[in-house]
Structure 1
Amino acid sequence: MIITTAFAFNGTELAGVFDNAGSVAAGLAKKVGSLSGAFFAIILLNASLIGADAVTLSTSYAFGDVFGIKHSLHRKWKDARGFYTSYTLLVLIAGGIVLIPNVPLGLITMAVQALAGVLLPSATVFLLLLCNDKVVLGPWVNKMWLNMVSSIIVGVLVMLSFILSATTLFPSVNVKLLTLILTIILIIGLLGAGLSSYLHRGKKSEVTVTTLDRSSWRMPPLRDLPKPEWTRTRKMGMVLLRSYLVNAVLLLIVKAVQIAIG
Structure 2
Amino acid sequence: MLPASLTLVGAGKMGGAMLAGWLRAGLDPARTVVIDPSPSPEATALCAEHGLALNPASSAPADVLVLAVKPQGLAEAAPGLAPLVGPRTLVLSILAGKTIADLMARLPTDAVVRAMPNLPASVGRGATGAVAGAGVTALQRAQADALLACVGLVEWLEAEALIDALTAVSGSGPAYVFHLVEALAEAGCAAGLPQDMARRLARATVAGAGALLDADPREASQLRRDVTSPGGTTAEALAVLMREDGLTALMREAVAAAARRAGELSG
Pairwise TM-score range, normalised by the shorter structure: under 0.3
Pair member with larger Rg = 1
TM-score, with normalisation over the residues of structure 1?
0.28
TM-score, with normalisation over the residues of structure 2?
0.28
Q: Which has the higher strand share?
A: 2
Higher RCO (CA-CA < 8 Å; seq separation 6+): 1
